[in-house]
Amino acid sequence: MKRTLFSIFLAAAVVILALLLMAQSPDDALHAPDGNSYDQIVNIIITPLTNSPFTATVSASWTRQLPDGTTITLGNHRLVLRDSQGRIYQERRRLVPPDGNETSAITRIEISDPTQHIKYFCFEASKLCELRSYNMVVSEPVLPVGPMGDGKHYSAAKTWVNETSKVSKLSAHARP
């Protein structure tokens, strides 16, 4: 009798255990937390130029292929600016689908001060800023060479040698 009860109990335990193990799928498995990581695109490098202030909105888009072959596109728009002293302000925002249903939240603000050689990284989630060294050299603006935005103007720099063999640099904007 004891042997029969033990056999029935053992068979029931094996069946229940087998059912529990089959009920789990890889999707049900627990995963370690991801550390709240996110992707960031470095799509523009702003140099600390004096006397060249600007304000702009930088747009970024990223399309990646998923393991099942489909693609997903993410993007954001963020504010960047530089003042006349060469200091730089940049927003960092989360990448979101471009359908407009999700707001691209600010994750971090970066403020670079090349004259004091410091850069602030201010994190939106913690409301704290980290101060780091910043060693970019402040320089004067350089006139670009090549076609200008509208395609009707061309910016050129030409070196001229005068009769006394002194070399001077001439920058000019050519108009059609």
Residue 10 in any domain: the answer is no
Long-range contacts of 58-66 (CB under 8 A, 24+ apart): 60/95, 61/98, 62/95
82 touches 48 (CB < 8 A): yes
- What was the pLDDT predicted at 154? 64
Predicted TM-score of the model (pTM): 0.58
Residue 32 in any domain: the answer is no
Point out which residues pair with 57 in neighbouring strands. 79
Do 98 and 156 fall into the same domain? no
Question: C-alpha distances in angstroms, 45 versus 41, 80, 89, 171?
Answer: 11, 10, 12, 25
Residue 59 in any domain: the answer is yes
| Residue recorded with tokens 């925002």 | 93
Domain total of the chain: 2
Do 49 and 131 fall into the same domain? yes
CA 89 to chain centre: 14
Do 154 and 114 fall into the same domain? no
Render each residue's pLDDT in the chain as its tens digit; 176 residues.
666 766 666 565 555 656 555 555 555 556 565 555 556 677 788 999 998 999 999 998 889 899 999 999 999 999 999 999 999 999 999 999 988 788 889 999 999 999 999 999 999 999 999 999 998 888 766 656 677 667 666 665 544 433 333 333 333 333 33
Do 79 and 117 fall into the same domain? yes
- Domain that includes residue 63, residue range: 39-142
- What was the pLDDT predicted at 161? 38
- What was the pLDDT predicted at 147? 74
Residue 129 in any domain: the answer is yes
Nearest Cα to Cα of residue 160 among 152, 151, 169: 169
Residue 18 in any domain: the answer is no
Phi, psi angle pair for 85, to nearest 5°? -90, 0
Do 50 and 136 fall into the same domain? yes
